Structure 1
């Protein structure tokens, strides 16, 4: 089951606490990346055919393809803090920060054990993200993003150190190519661009471009282009009085129907409703 994640803030990060059911629920996946911290109790965390016994202080890493679900012990229910966030946020800062989430499920240990140096290092940053998004003090979005980047950097250093030299070279090459792809897309997403055009400009095959982009970001190329277009449309809807139709075309959508469909899939509301929720008029 694939879940659709929406974000409560302009920065694409959610922080929430959750107590799993005491019975096994269906596995699910979602487009966001995720980290979970067991705050109390015990239980089991399932990742595909893998399962981990959970105790307070355990941290779990979840990418955007792996099926997973947590379950509480009936006698001592577990309670978690979860962060989920859009990988594009890290892509815009430093694509290498996505490497810890580029794992192959079968051979990856999702558990960062309680009391380990890595768990002790990342937990304060996880709770900082939750605090900033909860309290909403001035500058909270920048502070939440900064805390997420700090903990992602700690994850990168930890997992990178465990790679062989050849694995490191391969991943660095993939990240370099992905970064070049992303930079070109960010320059040209308002145009009718395709992966074939970008791959040709970079001198790599379309299949290679598609593979490294998906492995590093967890996104299909077309989905990433749509994300950039929606982000720009949100900015223009909130910060200008231009007509909704003009904004859609200006952001690179080739038809109004596509603009409305993709915008609603991403935000949960239509462009007109989005503008209305901000207390703004919606020019025809």
Structure 2
């Protein structure tokens, strides 16, 4: 299989299907991908976004900020937003590149800080990047399209997401004494994430501080602190909130009787369920369901509402 055909498939699939990378706390828009078997000179130009390139093979030069950098097999180079740059090669470069920008609003502070550091302190050229995670990920992405009939797979999407994150680490690594680990968002806290998953998976069971903390092999005090530090609310209030949210979803999407919904969502009785649901959403479960059929299908009702 020729590299031309692999690159042709990569260009088609990546530019059509991998235009956004999203995960907990992060959203990155991908403006375009490029897989070029023979890249020669281009004009001096600049972008308002990041463009990360990787030299699969060949030799050439990269110009940015009145400086010239040698390009060889395995070199990674990054064009920063607003910087004039140019690629030159007399013999041609086998080149891969991706243009992207951070979506600021849905992205949390931890990732935003990493991409700000990339924009401010990003190293333009990294030689021998083929031995780094970024180089390995580029090579894995290319290999995904080597077979005839290659299509978009889950692996390709995950490789693409990992590649974009690795670019920030490669070109602007965090200082050795960085306190970023302590500043990571709630979703990056493994114990907190495990606690939330356990709660969602066992919604119809009794969920107390003791049962959940035992499952995680931590103290009840530690579990209480996790919810207070990450959400600013108590463990008990979070449980009630999740039960109500789950119940509201069932009311909107299924015809399950209300007494059965109370059981599925872990409420002690239908009366207790009605009282908590009404307190949280300002309307009883039965009325909530009636409103859904009267107004929700027309788009007038939006759920779930923002809860604390």
Same fold (TM over 0.5): no
* TM-score bracket relative to the smaller structure: 0.3 to 0.5
Structure whose alpha-carbon radius of gyration is higher: 2
